[in-house]
Amino acid sequence: MSPLRIALAQGAIFAETKVALAAAGLSIAGLDGSDRRLVVPAGAVEYVLCRPSDVPTYVSHGAADLGVTGKDVLMESEADVLELVDLGYGTCRFVVAAPQDSIDRSLDEYRHLGSLEVATKYPHVAERHFQRRGVQVEIIKLSGSVELAPQVGLSDWIVDLVGTGRTLKENRLAIVEEIATCTARLIANRASYARDRAAIAALAASLETWVATR
C-alpha cells in the first residue's frame, strides 16, 4: 500500500501542525528544516511542503491525499475537497474594516450612490460576503497591504484577515463586521477518502482526540 501523501502549509501554522501530527502518531522525521527537500518520506506517510494557498490545489487534484492549511485559504480557493477536522490552532478572522472617522460617511455615500469600493487580497471571500448581505460593491484586488487603500482614496472599506487587529488600529481602521473565524483544517481528496477511508478516518479520529484534549 502506498503511503498517504499529506500536503503541509509552510509558514505560521507549520510548527503547530508538526505537533498535531506527532500527537496523532505520525512520524515527523525530516520536517525539522535540516534540508531543502519538499517531498519528505516519513514511514506510513509522505509529506509535501508547499505554500498555504497551494495546499487545496494539490489535494483537490489528487497530487496529495490529505492536506493541512487554514480555513481562510479554503474559503478563498473554493477548492472541491472534504474538510475533515477543525484543528483549532492558527486562529484568525476575516473582517470588514473602514476608517474610524468615516464609517458613517461611507455608509451615507453608499445609500446615495448604491455602491462601495472594497479593497482586498481575498476577492472571492469579499464578493460572497457582500452578496449575502445584499450590498453592491466594487472589488479592488490588491496583493500587498490593503490597510493603505482607504488612506489614499482607493477604496471605502477593506476585507482582510486579522489576528490581534493591531495593524488595523495602527492605521486608524475599525472593524465594521466579522465575516468568519478561521483555524487550521485537515482536508482530504474525495477519491483518496473513498479509497483509503479506514486509514484516513483513523488519522482524523486521532487528531480530533488531540484537539479535544489540548
Phi, psi for 132 (deg, rounded to 5): -60, -35
Q: Which of these, 76, 78, 82, lies nearest to 67 by C-alpha position?
A: 82
Contact predicate 99/107, CB 8 Å: no
Considering the four listed CATH numbers 3.40.190.10, 3.40.50.2300, 3.30.420.40, 3.20.20.150, the one that applies to the domain covering 92-182 is 3.40.190.10
Residues 7-23: tens digit of each pLDDT? 999 999 999 999 999 99
pTM of the model: 0.90
Residues 103-145: tens digit of each pLDDT? 666 666 666 556 789 999 999 999 999 999 888 899 999 999 9
Superfamily (CATH) of domain 4-90+183-213: Periplasmic binding protein-like II (3.40.190.10)
pLDDT reported for residue 116 = 85
Residues 46-81: tens digit of each pLDDT? 999 999 999 999 999 999 999 999 999 999 999 999
89-93, 99-103, 104-108, 172-176: range with lowest mean pLDDT: 104-108
Say yes or no: do domains 4-90+183-213 and 92-182 share a fold. Answer: yes
